[in-house]
Amino acid sequence: MKRSTYLIAVAIAFSSFTGSQSALADSVCGPGKQLATNAWACVSGNGGSITRNSGQVTGGQIAAGLAVGGAILSIVQSLASQTQATDNVGRADLDEQRHGTNSRQLNRQAIALQQAGKFDSARIAFLKAADEAVIAGNQREAKINQKNAEIADALHWLRSGYDAEKAGKPTRANIAYRMGIDAATRAGNESLVSKLRTANDALIKNNSGSSMIPSQKNNCMLLNGKYACY
C-alpha cells in the first residue's frame, strides 16, 4: 500500500524579544488566547476549549514573547512534519496474527496522541508500532516508527523547555532543551539540531550566571533521574 505522510502544520511567526518581564508574560497565541497545556494549540484566555482541533494553529494566531522560546516554536513545524503514517501490513506469511495491522493501528493511535499534545504517550505507542512491524517482517516501517518516537520525544522536551523558560526557570529549560536536542539528533535531522543548539546557546548567553549545559557537550544522559554529561 502507498505510504502516506502525516504533517502537523504549525505555522509560526514570532516577534522580537525585548528582555523585559512583560515580554515573558506575553501570550504566544495572540490577544485573548493562550497556548494549551502540553499541546501546540491555542485556547481561549479564560481556559476554554481549543480553538483549532487536531493541534493545528495558523500563523496569524502566533506571536511569541520569548527569544529562545520563539526560536523553539519556529522549529516545531519542521520537526513535527517528519512524523509519518505507516500503511503496509508487512509480509503475509509472517502476519498470520495481524502484527502488521496492529502496527498500523498503533501508528494511528500514536499520531492522534501527538495531535492531542500527549507526546510521551505518543512516543510509547510509536515504539509499540515499531515492535509490531518487526514481528510482521517490515523493518522499513519499524524504522519509521522508531523515528516517529524520537520526534514525539523531542516535541515533549521542547515543550517542557518552553514552559520552564516561560516560568523564568532557565536552568530547567536548558536541561529540557538539551534532551530535546538529543531526541532530535536521534531522529536524524542535523539542520534542525543545529537550530536547536543555537537557541540553547542563546539561552545560556542570556543567563551567564547560571550553571548550564552547553550545546556542544556530548555523552549526555539521564542517570538516576539526573541529566548529566561526562
Higher pLDDT, residue 57 or 123: 123
Give the pairing of strands 42-44 and 84-85.
Answer: unpaired
Specify the pLDDT at position 162.
85
Smallest CA-to-CA distance from 126 within 109, 211, 9 is with: 109
Dist. CA 16–CA 145, nearest whole Å: 36
Evaluate if residue 103 carries a pLDDT over 90.
yes
* Residues 32-52: tens digit of each pLDDT: 767 667 666 667 765 443 333
State the cell numbers at 8: 502537523
* Residues 137-175: tens digit of each pLDDT: 899 999 999 999 999 999 999 888 888 888 888 888 889
Mean pLDDT of all residues belonging to the chain: 74
Backbone angles phi, psi at 223, to 5 degrees: -135, 115
Phi-psi region of 98 (alpha: psi -120 to 50; beta: other; left: phi over 0): left
Amino acid at the residue 12: I
Q: Quote the pTM value.
A: 0.74
> What is residue 209's DSSP assignment?
T
Give 132: exposed, middle or buried? Use CB within 10 Å, 0-12, 13-18, 19+. buried
Specify the pLDDT at position 58.
31
Specify the pLDDT at position 41.
63
Percentage with pLDDT > 90 across the chain:
27
Specify the pLDDT at position 20.
31
Evaluate if residue 101 carries a pLDDT over 80.
yes
Specify the pLDDT at position 35.
67
Classified as helix, coil or strand, 32 is: coil
* Residues 54-92: tens digit of each pLDDT: 333 233 222 233 556 666 666 877 888 899 999 876 666
H or E, element range at 42:
strand 42-44
State the cell numbers at 56: 493545528
